Amino acid sequence: MSRVYNFCAGPAAMPVDVLEEAQRDLVDYKGSGMSVMEMSHRGKEYDAIHNEAVENIRKLLKLPENYGVIFMTGGATAQFTLVPMNLLGPGQGADYIVAGSWGSKAAKEGKQVGAINVIANTEKDIPTRMPDLATLKYTPGAAYVHCTSNETIAGTQMKAFPQTAVPLVCDMSSDILSRPIDVTQFGLIYAGAQKNLGPSGVTLVIIRKDLAEKANEKCPGFFRYKTHLDENSLHNTPPCFAIYMLTLCTRWLLKLGGVDGIARINRDKAGKLYAALDASKFYKATAVKADRSDMNITFRLPTEALEEQFVKDASAKGMKQLKGHRSVGGIRASIYNAFPVAGVETLIAFMKDFEQKNG
């Protein structure tokens, strides 16, 4: 077996133990004679997998009873529309804190549904940064406030969350379960699974139950959170195999000591990489220090030609997908939960060598 260090921003590296377990059980799941892909979503084997996924998420996020777990499809992108469809009452608007292209996309889609006020926007700022939460002016009567905890392209991360009188909605696609959070600060959290939770195809939604209860009744049934909450995400056929993989990933995370355990490892990985960047005059981190993401480490080299060479040479040495997002260029090392410490150390050694040869 030969595995590369995969720095992809998503779909991202998965724990090898999880992949191997799935491989062992792929054709005959625990003596059932079937693959999880072939099972009824209403049968007892799948039922156990599904309920363990819910339970593991509840444990990892320390969810209080008044919060529900929903598995949906359509990625975080579908949530950009579903959130306002559900949470905006007639004539109501919402406030959006935009810190990069994902927040901007969420606001743009929200505007198709209702009156969205962008109350802060740092999308175009260089160096990249999060808005200053202390200066935010909320709109009276807004139904909710929306934010993005980690801007995957800009390489920025909210270290604290806004204190809002109305429900706070957060797109946590690129840092969910990577660090401890107090869920009770939020009315709704959503995240595509393909970075920290498992493969693409399943989207996690955490919702305060009263919000699901009073959501807009005009919203068609399938698109209502309440429908999926009431039916334990089995209203229609769920993405069973993706949920099975999420079960294995969350089990792996629990074994590592849960969110506290993985947060220590994540801090260590990101800390080492930022220290290497700060110690060099050749590389330049692109985000302001206070807002640096522990998940997506973005940086530049002196020229675009050198960046191209860097990506090419790294790839030849088994470090893949280091090219920054096409909209911003530069280099991006995505080091989510499953990305190994050894991969970060290998990258740092390569960076030193590349600087020596080209600096």
List interacting residues with ligand PLP (CB under 6 A). 10, 75-77, 102, 148, 152, 171, 173-174, 192
Looking at beta carbons only, is 57 or 147 nearer to ligand PLP?
Answer: 147
Looking at beta carbons only, is 181 or 276 nearer to ligand PLP?
Answer: 181
Q: Are strands 168-171 and 145-148 parallel, antiparallel or unpaired?
A: parallel
In the complex, minimum distance from the CB of residue 11 to ligand PLP, in angstroms, rounded to a whole number: 9
Looking at beta carbons only, is 246 or 276 nearer to ligand PLP?
Answer: 246
218 carries an active-site annotation: no
The single residue of 44, 124, 159, 195 carrying the catalytic annotation is: 195
The angle at the Cα of 128, spanning 10 to 266, to the nearest 5 degrees, equals: 50
357 carries an active-site annotation: no
In the complex, minimum distance from the CB of residue 85 to ligand PLP, in angstroms, rounded to a whole number: 16
CA distance 38 to 16: 23
The single residue of 171, 175, 291, 294 carrying the catalytic annotation is: 171
- DSSP secondary structure, 263-275, as one string: HHHHHHHHHHHHH
In the complex, minimum distance from the CB of residue 72 to ligand PLP, in angstroms, rounded to a whole number: 11
Q: 């940064």: which residue's tokens?
A: 129
Looking at beta carbons only, is 10 or 330 nearer to ligand PLP?
Answer: 10
In the complex, minimum distance from the CB of residue 192 to ligand PLP, in angstroms, rounded to a whole number: 3
CA distance 229 to 212: 8
CA distance 288 to 122: 12
* Residues 337-354: b if buried by 16+ CB within 10 A, e if exposed: bbbbeebbebbbebbeeb
Q: Are 193 and 204 in contact (CB under 8 A)?
A: yes
102 carries an active-site annotation: yes
The single residue of 95, 102, 175, 269 carrying the catalytic annotation is: 102
In the complex, minimum distance from the CB of residue 89 to ligand PLP, in angstroms, rounded to a whole number: 25
Looking at beta carbons only, is 157 or 247 nearer to ligand PLP?
Answer: 157
Residue whose Cβ sits closest to ligand PLP: 75
Instruction: Could you list the beta-strand ranges (E) of 222-359.
Output: 284-285, 296-300, 319-320, 331-334
Residues identified as active-site: 102, 171, 195
